[in-house]
Chain A
Amino acid sequence: MSVTEPRPDDQLTVDASVHVQETPLDLLPYCDEAWRPALQAIADNAKTAGVGSELWPPGGGDEPAATSPDELRVHLTERGVDLAILCPTALQKLSMVPQAEFASALARAYNAWLVDTWLRPELGLLGCLIASPQAPADTAAEIEKYAGHPGVVGVYLPGAAVDPLWGHRKYDPILRAAEAAGLPVLLNSVEVMHPVFPFNTHGFDTVLARFTTSDPFAMMVNLIDMITTGVPARFPELRVGVLGAGVTWMPFLSLRLDKVYLEKRREVPFLAERPSHYLKGYFYGTFPLEEAGDPKDFVTLVDLFDGENATVFASGWPGAGHDDPAQIRTLPFSDEAKQKILGGNALRLFGIDADGRRTSLSQGAAAR
């Protein structure tokens, strides 16, 4: 597939997942005092030992792709991206931290660091708060704290190794706060296996096997849980995005849920429509973009879940295997569909205009 397709000048491009690369030392100044020694210990051992290795694996990880907003802006411009939605790297696995208070402290530190260091709406740099599923009340407080910030456009839900799944009412305070703030929630998958999550796939030997299954499985089980526990009824205005799992499983999930729903509607009387109706109202990031032998097949799969209005370009950059907006442009979508997938759908998901301004914030609203 060619990635040299020129970008039309008027083609707004929003990248729904650009990763910042938070390190323990980045977060340290923003961390609650009680948890700084723990974070410092992780920093001290990051290159060797297993302390904190769920989040920051031994070896130190990659060098950051950008060290400042201006530098990041340069990279994005080179990549033809107008607006970038920033999301975490290490804290994608925040749900694996067993200590709820530590998870909450890490989330607070990350959010403060993100807002302070990276979010620059005037540079097209917007971002998502991270939720700690271990501490719903604390997460709700964080959402309320940043609800009026012009650079905060969503709430990132770690989608792997969560137990119970995201439809459980224990998380309602998070969803309620997001809905009230006019912010979408973004389920994010990451190659995590857990003794009970999603199934016995933790037995896989290879990243190939885990990456293939864990990401879409994680998204599917969370989406199924959210739909079948009535999140669409409880939070009808909540916008939901799904990142990191590609999109080609959506036709399967829609058809399968609708099929079972026929006989089991009584279990879910809070759903006024078939499950696929709600799934199609959510948004799905393209990363990792599945590369069909015949590109038309990918377009067909997107069409099968009315994905023209639900698919958002997401690169996963600068992570390994990231995608490029040019790949979308080379696919045999209509021009209108490309515009939606590359930008228009993301504007609706994140509630922003083409200049990255939050549409729900009144003119001149001050950042808190």
Chain B
Amino acid sequence: MIGKLEEFPEGSHRVVTVGRRRIGVFNVKGSLHALPNLCPHQTGPLCEVKKVTGTTQARAENDWAIEWAFDQEIIACPWHGIEYHVPTGRCLTFPEISIRSYEVAVDDGVVSLQF
């Protein structure tokens, strides 16, 4: 158990401690996601971001123009700016890397992480 649901309102994020783990918990558009607070690049505190943002993308069908995408779904590690997609753990900078996600359960308004 890491808290009550109202402690994780939509658009919020916070880092919780579970045993020896530090885990970032994000409420992205009503869905809770949990990621390790550890960037595999250089072990930076990945989830201690000031803000969950979107990012840029470019597509051939739009002539590679720069577009805003994944709004409120992206974190960029405070140390080096390595970007991750919160709902999937996918790293945007190193496409071969995805970080693990923890399963988040909500039961009777109580939020817990499954290991």
Q: Give A contacts to B, CB under 8 Å.
A: 230, 233-234, 261-267, 269-270, 272-274
Contact = CB atoms under 8 A, between A and B. Distances in A.
A233 B81 contact: no
A270 B69 CA distance: 13
Contacts of A272: 95
A233 B93 contact: no
A269 B95 contact: no
Do most interface residues of chain A lie in helix, strand or loop, or is the interface mixed?
helix
A266 B66 CA distance: 9
Interface of B: 41, 55-58, 60, 64, 66-67, 80-83, 92-95
B59 to A, nearest CB: 8
Given A230-B64, A234-B64, A270-B64, A263 B80 contact: yes
A265 B95 CA distance: 12
6 contacts: A262-B93, A263-B80, A263-B81, A269-B57, A269-B58, A269-B67
B112 to A, nearest CB: 34
Contacts of A230: 58, 64
A262 B58 contact: no
Nearest to A236: B60
The 7 tightest CB contacts between A and B, nearest first, are A270-B58, A263-B81, A269-B56, A269-B58, A266-B56, A270-B64, A269-B57
Nearest to B67: A269
Residue of B41, B64, B67, B94 with most chain A CB atoms under a 10 A cut-off: B64
A264 B82 CA distance: 9
A262 B55 contact: no
Nearest to A264: B81
Nearest to B55: A266
Nearest to A277: B95
A262 B93 CA distance: 6
A274 B82 CA distance: 12
Given A262-B93, A270-B64, A233 B58 contact: yes
